[in-house]
Amino acid sequence: MNLSTGTAGPLLTPEQVEDLLVLPVLAASVALNPLVPTVVRLTGSTYRIPKVTADPSAAWVAEGAEIPARDLTTNELVVTPSKVAGLSVITSELAEDSSPEATTEVGAGLARDVARKDRRRLLR
């Protein structure tokens, strides 16, 4: 039995992580469904959403009278996003001695939980 941790590198390649976790989360996520929200790729740590706080308005005026200017008023909502992250530690024996289904089950469980937490955040 191995009692120490090694530095052999990651158990899964980025491609395996995508197949095992990322794609199932995308498939199960309400928040990432293209019919629900608009997905925005950030270039910084915050996202600024313009918001109309008051519409321009019209007024009844007499013929030949000056038309009052009433402009649109705007503000912005600053969003600092966070992420859903999960980590499942498995023994090297489980990873090496079991069938690939064990790793698949761990990944599927993590994918379900990430999608569930994502859905709760969106719908609250």
88: containing domain: 14-33+43-123
Assess if residue 2 is contained within a domain: no
Identify the bridge partners of residue 50 per DSSP, sorted by sequence position: 76
Is the whole-model pTM more than 0.75?
no
Question: Helix-strand-coil percent breakdown of the chain, rounded to 5?
Answer: 35, 10, 50
Assess if residue 50 is contained within a domain: yes
Residue 93 is predicted with a pLDDT of 80
Assess if residue 74 is contained within a domain: yes
Residue 6 is predicted with a pLDDT of 56
Assess if residue 105 is contained within a domain: yes
Assess if residue 114 is contained within a domain: yes
Q: Which long-range contacts (CB under 8 A, 24 or more apart) does 69-76 make?
A: 74/50, 75/50, 75/51, 76/48, 76/49, 76/50, 76/51
Dig out the tokens for 105 from the structure. 């089950």
Assess if residue 7 is contained within a domain: no
Total domains present in the chain: 1
Element (H, E) at 117: helix 100-123
Q: CA-to-CA distance for 102 and 94, rounded, in angstroms?
A: 8
Residue 1 is predicted with a pLDDT of 46
Residue 59 is predicted with a pLDDT of 92
Residue-level pLDDT, tens digit, the chain, 124 residues? 455 555 556 677 888 888 888 888 878 777 667 777 677 788 889 999 999 999 999 999 999 999 999 999 999 999 998 888 888 888 878 777 777 777 888 888 888 898 888 888 877 7
Assess if residue 9 is contained within a domain: no
Element (H, E) at 24: helix 23-28
Identify the bridge partners of residue 76 per DSSP, sorted by sequence position: 50
Q: CA-to-CA distance for 101 and 108, rounded, in angstroms?
A: 10
Which one, of 70, 73, 44, lies nearest residue 58 by Cα? 70
Residue 10 is predicted with a pLDDT of 65
